[in-house]
Chains A and B, each alone.
Chain A
Amino acid sequence: MSTVRVSRVSAAAPLIAFVRPRGLTSGRAVATWAALLATTAIALFPMYWLYVNALTPITATPPLTPILWPAWKLDNILRLLTTSKHYTQWVLNSLVVALGATLWHAVFDTLAGYAFAKRRFPGRDAIFTTLVATLMVPIHVTFIPLYLINRELGLIDSLWAVLMPATSNVFGIFLMRQFIQTLPGELEDAARIDGCSEFGVVHHVIVPLSQPAIASLAIFTFVRNWNDFLWPLIAVNRPQMFTLTVGVASLQGEFMTDWGIIFAGAAVASLPITAFFLLFQRYFLDGLRLGALK
């Protein structure tokens, strides 16, 4: 009898711990949950409404009574893909830019982060401080010179013009340095004794141990470049070379009265990144903490 009771208590206890904040009365717990759920609703409503509208057939002006539940129809999206000449091209362009930047930062930020974290060399701290100081430089300062250079090199309207400046961003170097500093040095020494070259140390010791940090870095870099807007807007004029954000912003001018297409364009552009976050949210939140400058 008593064993049954004990097991019942122990089964319910985690559930109570789950909903009942530590050290709070029931009244306070209810108030906490109400506040948190209300703010979650506010946080998610705008994007929810966008998706609902995208999934409900709308060919002209949306109805005066807002649609709050999706019809689960893909009409808008199919019309977007058939009428908007370049939408799929924009997706590809954004993928190329975001993946290119991610590849660059994953490789070279790991190398640089390792050098700044573990190696001693003249000028190390001065160089690192200078790079971190670029966080204070508004990127807008660089736009006119970058535009003139790309114009001179004939790169305007190419993805190179969009991609290249994305490689000078210090976030990943900082994140990798923070992470690699916490790794013990013994493994590196052991690898050197076993005859690893310096590059081999990075390849066989640092990279495997830094997987979570590299994942965070890759995800942040991808999202940052997928979402980037102002520089691509300046660097590219021909519609077929737009990145997705620039293209989506241009839909409003092109399909002024067909709101269904505009909703679909915006929703489809945010979908991959949202799915990406849901899959890898741990790396996002870890990266955010690691990359915070203190």
Chain B
Amino acid sequence: MQHLRAFLRAHGWSYAFILPSLLTFAAFTFAPMAWSAMISFQKVNLRTGGTWVTPIWANYERAFTAQSHVFVVAIGNTFIYTAFTVTTNIVVGLALASLIQPLHRHVRTFFRAAYYLPAVTSSLIVGMTWAYIYNAQWGFANYLLRLVGLEPVRWLSNPDIALGSIIASTMLTIPATAVVLFSAAMGGIPSEYYEAADLDGASPLQKWFGITLPLIKPTTLYLSVIYTIASFEVFERIYVMVPSGVGNSTQTIVTQIYNAGFKDFDLGVSAAQAMVLFAMIGAVALVQFRVLRSDVEY
């Protein structure tokens, strides 16, 4: 009792300060996670509750095999989407941050803000806007094609093209977070490094590859990871651009989780698919921590 009182006197406030946050995390993140893991091995009846399935991995098996393996196709689509968008985001982010770096402070702020402006709008509305641009009849994309005398394209209804159109819409959205963070990282590199390189007669390109790129490596890794996670979770854009999907060609992991859970009400399969997504993101994060261990100091 004496100990408890002393402990509370020393640390009571600390725990009181974090308690509200801990409670919300327990209630809305950790408990649902655990329950979701359980449901992924159960058959859930909304009235009578869950019963374990046999064999115990049945939901996972169905998650991958149901509706002629559409989840496998969806994972493939998600990987394609991720590969294209993450690469473009990093390359474009690096290029734009490098271009604005030598500019005057105020000009730099102007461009950062201009690039960031569309990024504050919900990806749902950005997706809707792209759906209009891609409208086969009156969209801006086909208008451009007509201008140069080309046939109109069914951007979002042709199953061979739809995923490509969606990927292109993301690639043409400036990766604002990358520009801002790369720009901040580049601004943090001590100018002595560049002055020393100047004395050695290094060209701008040599300085960029020899000094800038290696020193901003932690930012590059961080951005690759957050963009990879965001791409694995792509949903809104697809939901508004191709509401019911173009066959299986535009299904992604999250559209499958949503369809299984909240359209087919197959909660076990939906939970199993969500756990697969969790495992994939966990794997990406693990790789990041491995690579980040070789941190740079300057």
Contact = CB atoms under 8 A, between A and B. Distances in A.
A145 interface: yes
Contact of B21 (A39, A109, A278): A109
Given A18-B104, A108-B21, A144-B39, A230 B235 contact: yes
26 contacts: A17-B104, A18-B107, A40-B115, A46-B129, A50-B128, A50-B132, A108-B20, A116-B18, A131-B25, A141-B36, A142-B29, A143-B32, A144-B271, A145-B32, A148-B46, A164-B27, A164-B28, A168-B24, A170-B25, A229-B122, A277-B120, A284-B116, A284-B120, A285-B180, A289-B181, A294-B222
Interface string B10-30: 110111011011101101110
Interface residues of A, number: 94
A270 B122 contact: yes
A81 interface: no
A43 B117 contact: yes
B242 interface: no
Interface of A: 17-19, 21-24, 32, 35-36, 39-40, 42-44, 46-47, 49-50, 53, 61-66, 108-109, 111-112, 114-116, 119-122, 124, 127, 131, 134, 136-149, 151, 164-165, 167-168, 170, 173, 198-199, 202, 223, 226-230, 234, 245, 248-249, 252, 262-263, 266, 269-270, 273-274, 276-278, 281, 284-285, 288-289, 292-294
Given A145-B36, A270-B121, A281 B116 contact: yes
A26 B32 CA distance: 59
A198 B236 CA distance: 44
A229 B236 contact: yes
A47 B125 CA distance: 9
Contacts of B103: 21-22, 32
Nearest to A289: B184
B79 to A, nearest CB: 16
A149 B204 CA distance: 59
Nearest to A139: B233
A284 B106 CA distance: 16
A49 B140 CA distance: 9
B174 interface: yes
Interface in B107-133: 107, 109, 111-118, 120-126, 128-130, 132-133
A22 B102 contact: yes
Contacts of A145: 31-32, 35-36, 39
A136 B104 contact: no
Given A269-B122, A292-B181, A43 B277 contact: no
Interface stretch (B62-70, B82-90, B256-264): B256-264
B57 to A, nearest CB: 18
Given A42-B174, A142-B29, A248-B124, 18 more contacts: A23-B102, A39-B174, A43-B174, A46-B126, A47-B121, A112-B20, A116-B18, A139-B233, A141-B271, A142-B33, A144-B270, A229-B236, A229-B239, A245-B124, A249-B239, A281-B116, A284-B116, A285-B180
Given A141-B36, A143-B261, A199-B13, A273 B99 contact: no
A131 B239 contact: no
A294 B21 contact: no
A24 B109 CA distance: 19
Interface residues of B, number: 93
A182 to B, nearest CB: 15
Given A39-B96, A109-B21, A227 B123 contact: yes
Given A53-B132, A248-B124, A249-B124, A46 B118 contact: yes
A35 B118 contact: no
B209 to A, nearest CB: 17
Nearest to B188: A289
A66 B27 CA distance: 50
A23 to B, nearest CB: 6
A53 B128 CA distance: 13
Top 9 closest pairs, chain A to chain B, by CB: A227-B122, A21-B102, A142-B32, A145-B32, A121-B14, A115-B17, A198-B13, A168-B28, A145-B35
Given A138-B278, A248-B124, A35 B138 contact: no
A147 to B, nearest CB: 8
A136 B282 contact: yes
**Which residue among B10, B129, B130 has the maximum number of chain A CB atoms within 10 Å of its CB?**
B129
B273 to A, nearest CB: 9
Given A44-B117, A66-B143, A114 B104 contact: no
B112 A285 contact: yes
